[in-house]
Amino acid sequence: METEERAEDFAQLIARLKAEYDVTESEIARRIGVHVSTVNNWAHRKRGGARGPGKETLRKLAEAFPKFTTDEIFAAVGRKTPGPLPPDAKQRLLALFEELTEEQQRMKEIEIRALVEDNRSSSS
């Protein structure tokens, strides 16, 4: 019989981060530019906002505490890690989008929103 290993949740990751770096919730908050109550909410599994921390906050956490990868931080909140988007790619995508008809633009927006929502709701 196989046993499925349960993934670490965000509160567990915050606890491990605090121990690994010997930092307080206040120090984590200061380093990533959020209020200490926000970090406290994460540490005690209180949901701040409908979806928890945003992608920029999660990326700042990975930058401030590099022993924790972006992938493991996003996985801890149950989300897939968004891919990098170089500045020139934004311009290329916008130029392509502007070539679509109004109806095609609406359809692509719906498709993209569905993909983003899927990434936010599953980590596999």
Taking CA 84 as the corner, what is the angle to CA 79 and CA 90, rounded to the nearest 5 degrees?
120
User: How far apart are the C-alpha atoms of 115 and 97, rounded to whole Å?
Assistant: 17
The token duo for 113 is 């929103």
pTM metric for this prediction:
0.73
Total residues found in the chain within this entry: 124
Does the pLDDT value for residue 95 go beyond 70? yes
For the stretch 60-94, pLDDT in tens is 999 999 999 999 999 998 888 888 888 899 899 99
Q: What is the pLDDT of residue 51?
A: 58
Q: What is the pLDDT of residue 47?
A: 66
The token duo for 38 is 């926000």
Which parts of the chain fold into alpha helices (H)?
Answer: 10-21, 25-32, 36-43, 55-64, 70-76, 87-98, 102-121
| Range 10-76 classified under CATH 1.10.260.40 | yes
Please state the domain extents for the chain: 10-76, 87-121
For the stretch 12-53, pLDDT in tens is 999 999 999 999 999 999 999 999 999 999 999 886 544 578
